[in-house]
Amino acid sequence: MADEDEYRLRAKFLGWLKRNGGAKHLTTCEKKLRHLGLEVDSTIGLWEQDRITIALSRGDKVVWLKDIEWADEWAKMHDVEVPHHAQSQYLLTKEKLR
Amino acid sequence: MSSPGRKDLPKSIEAVLDKPFDGLFGDTAELRVLQEIVADPYSNYTHRELMDLTGLSDPSVRRGIRVLIDHGIIRNMSSARRSPLYRANLDSKKLTALTFLSYASLDERTGSLSMDDAVRRYCDYIPLNVEVLPLAEGSTLVRYKLPDYGKASSKAKGSQAIIGEA
């Protein structure tokens, strides 16, 4: 994953959160961020709180994606909105070139 | 119980928190693994990572993976038998449909338009088999060749739908 740029990784995180219903426990988000090679502070902490914020659910911290449209724009910009054939062809080509 | 400045999660979101596909199909180990892959089909996953991300036990993840492989939703990209590396099959229509479903659930709760946007964008990538044939002077026939759906629907094979005349 080291060859992916950080902006695409952030787009993947936002897409992951969106497809998980727009909210996930902070501890789960930390695991996903680690999986992507990102840090909480340099990701969630970076964005404005009216777009993504930490809320409480029964006393637990939950990351809440408030601005879905904004997350959609990230996904579109980095082509991580919906899986499609061209993406698989791109991956195949990339692997062949390695 | 709120700490100062920290907002409570809206009840509509709290009700579906951590439920795969908003709880539409229940909440099983297989669904949790599936939800994880649908949520990020662009990453690779080791067995251990899937356990960590889903909070499931080794046998539960194993069961979930087997189902997803059987349905062609994920593939093992590793040739090393002892260290499998799973990746979503981006050609899987089931995977795409489930992506739309996850957007549909979100849209119906929040009023967003993620599914509509995603469907539109997906259509841009479908290679349409369109032919434009000249007819009489100044007119053309736009013909869309229907895909071959296999033996089960052999009547559709090679048939055509006229989608416009000009």
Q: pLDDT tens digit string along A31-79?
A: 999 999 998 888 998 999 999 999 999 999 999 999 999 999 999 999 9
pLDDT at B124: 82
Q: Which residues of B touch A88 (CB under 8 A)?
A: 89-91
What are the sequence ranges of the domains in chain A?
A: 3-97
Chain B window 12-41: which residues touch A at a Cβ cutoff of 8 Å? 13-14, 16-19, 22, 35, 38-41
Domain spanning A3-97, CATH class: mainly alpha
Measure the CA angle with vertex B117, ends B161 and B99; round to 5°.
90
Per-residue pLDDT tens digits for B18-50: 999 999 999 999 999 999 999 999 999 999 999
Residue B166 has pLDDT above 50, yes or no: no
Please, what is the angle between helix B29-39 and helix A6-19, to 10°?
140
Q: What is the pTM of this model?
A: 0.82
pLDDT at B88: 96
pLDDT band at residue A95 using 50, 70 and 90 as cut-offs = confident
- Check: CB of residue B69 under 8 Å from CB of residue B47: no
Q: Which residues of A touch B40 (CB under 8 A)?
A: 12, 15-16, 19, 32
pLDDT at B142: 67
Q: Which residues of B touch A28 (CB under 8 A)?
A: 18, 53, 55
- Check: CB of residue A21 under 8 Å from CB of residue B16: yes
Q: Which residue of A has its CA nearest to B77?
A: A95
Chain B window 91-130: which residues touch A at a Cβ cutoff of 8 Å? 91-92, 95-96, 99-100, 102-103, 105-106, 109-110, 112-114, 117-118, 121-122, 125, 127
Q: What percent of chain B has pLDDT over 90?
A: 65
Q: What is the mean pLDDT of chain B?
A: 84
Q: ipTM of this predicted complex?
A: 0.90
